[in-house]
């Protein structure tokens, strides 16, 4: 601290100021991500390209066809990464959609009815800690079908945070609002419409946001175990193929998985903001 004299500090700030404002906002990202890529490349040089391809190798080795043609289709399971992701998203959409509908309904019931809420709480607390893949064998046995099983795993993984958050949201409705309802003698329907739902929406969306992340985690894992197509399948398939560029393909797929997960998270957060407008 003492090393920085007033003059050096002034010079530094003026150096930053010379940049245009748009660029200045990106400086932290630019520098840190750049640093990360450089470190990765260095690590790859140390370990050898065959074991861990650096960023440059990944791009060159997968450029054709995986990056340049995301939607090629050679028949069977040989499809572009765009298709693979869409297959996975389709499964997530089904499983997560079901989880949202059923989860909110169950959560609502648990929140509104103290008796059921209390009685079922231990069950929920136990089941929600079960890792997603542990559900897979039993769902395969029940459904006898890889696709349905994957959807079920998504469903069962995603449903707990939704149930819990919905129930908590209803229980946490501020006393002030319920007092208003009691003084006005709001009828049940009007109470749910005017107070319960609006007050609970922020909680529900917190649950939905956690769930979408979990669902995306689960689908990749489930597809790696047993599936035809999907981004998880692609990763496992590339590993099994063991070609020159498989490590690069895997790394690229991982990058896509991460980006899609981020996009899903942001999408749900945005939807929550739009729906809960005036709320808390």
Partner 1 sequence: MATAFLTVDDVSQVFPLDGGGQYVALKDIDLEIAEGEFISLIGHSGCGKSTLLNLLAGLSQASSGGILINGRQVSEPGPDRMVVFQNYSLLPWQTVRQNIALAVNTVMRDASEAERRERVERNISRVGLAHAADKLPAELSGGMKQRVAIARALAIEPKLLLLDEPFGALDALTRGNLQQQLMQICQEAGVTTVMVTHDVDEALLLSDRVICLTNGPAAGIGQILKVNLPRPRQRLEVMEHPDYYRLRSELIGFLQQQRRLKQRQQAISVAAGPAEPEAEPEAEASPVATAPQKLRIGYLPGLDIAPLAMALERGFFADAGLTVLPMSFNRWQQLEEKLQLGELDLAITSATTPLALTLGLRGQPAWPAITPMTVTRNGNALCLARRFIDLDVRDLRSLAARLNGREWPVRLAIAQKGSMQELLLRHWLASGGINPERDIEFHTLSPMAMQAALLAGEIDGFIAGRYRVAKAVEAELAYVVATDHDIWRGHPEKVLTCNEGWAATHDQALLRFCAALMRGGQLCDDGGQHDGLVDLLSRPQWLGNDAAAALQRQFDLGSGQPSGQRLPLPCYHSDRAHVANGAEGAWILTQFSRWGWSSFPSNRLELLSQVYRNDLCDQALELAGFAALRPERQPIAMADGRPFDQDDPLTYLRGQPFSGAAAVDTVTLPPAAASRPLAAR
Of positions 177, 221, 246, 269, contacts partner 1 by CB under 8 A: 177
Which span (187-195, 219-227, 242-250, 260-268) binds partner 1, by CB under 8 A?
187-195
Could you give the angle at the alpha carbon of 253 between the alpha carbons of 79 and 63, nearest 5°? 70
Q: CB nearer to partner 1: give 32 or 190.
A: 190
Q: CB nearer to partner 1: give 204 or 222.
A: 204
Assess 195 for contact with partner 1 (CB under 8 A). yes
Report in angstroms the alpha-carbon separations of 162 from 55, 83, 130: 38, 29, 15
Interface size with partner 1, residues (CB under 8 A): 20
H or E element that contains 2 = none
Which span (8-16, 49-57, 72-80, 182-190) binds partner 1, by CB under 8 A?
182-190
Residues 133-162 that bind partner 1 (CB under 8 A): none
* Residue given tokens 């989860």 in the structure block: 103
Q: Measured from the CB of residue 266, what is the shortest distance to partner 1 in angstroms? A: 23
> What DSSP string runs through 174-203?
-HHHHHHHHHHT--HHHHIIIIIHHHHHHH
Helix axes 114-127, 81-112, angle to 10 degrees: 140
| Cβ atoms 203, 280 nearer than 8 A | no
Assess 8 for contact with partner 1 (CB under 8 A). no
Chain residues that interact with partner 1, rule: CB under 8 A: 176-177, 179-180, 182-187, 190, 194-195, 198-199, 276-280
């Amino acid at each position: 601290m003492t090393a920085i004299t007033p003059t050096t500090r002034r010079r530094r700030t003026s150096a930053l100021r010379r940049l245009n404002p748009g660029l200045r906002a990106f400086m932290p990202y630019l520098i840190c991500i750049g640093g990360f890529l450089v470190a990765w490349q260095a690590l790859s040089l140390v370990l050898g390209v065959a074991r861990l391809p650096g960023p440059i190798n990944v791009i060159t080795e997968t450029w054709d066809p995986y990056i340049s043609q995301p939607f090629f289709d050679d028949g069977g399971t040989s499809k572009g990464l765009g298709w693979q992701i869409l297959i996975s998203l389709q499964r997530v959409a089904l499983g997560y959609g079901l989880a949202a509908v059923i989860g909110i309904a169950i959560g609502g019931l648990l929140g509104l009815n103290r008796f059921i809420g209390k009685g079922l709480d231990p069950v929920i607390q136990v089941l929600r800690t079960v890792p997603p893949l542990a559900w897979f064998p039993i769902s395969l046995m029940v459904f006898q079908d890889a696709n349905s099983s994957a959807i079920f795993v998504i469903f069962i993984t995603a449903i707990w945070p939704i149930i819990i958050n919905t129930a908590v949201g209803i229980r946490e409705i501020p006393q002030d609002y319920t007092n208003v309802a009691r003084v006005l003698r709001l009828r049940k329907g009007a109470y749910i419409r005017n107070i319960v739902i609006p007050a609970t929406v922020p909680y529900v969306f917190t649950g939905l946001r956690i769930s979408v992340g979990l669902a995306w985690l689960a689908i990749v894992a489930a597809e790696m175990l047993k599936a035809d197509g999907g981004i998880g399948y692609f990763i496992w398939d590339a590993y099994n193929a063991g070609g020159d560029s498989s490590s690069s393909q895997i790394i690229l797929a991982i990058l896509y998985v991460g980006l899609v997960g981020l996009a899903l998270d942001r999408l749900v957060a945005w939807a929550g903001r739009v729906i809960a407008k005036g709320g808390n």
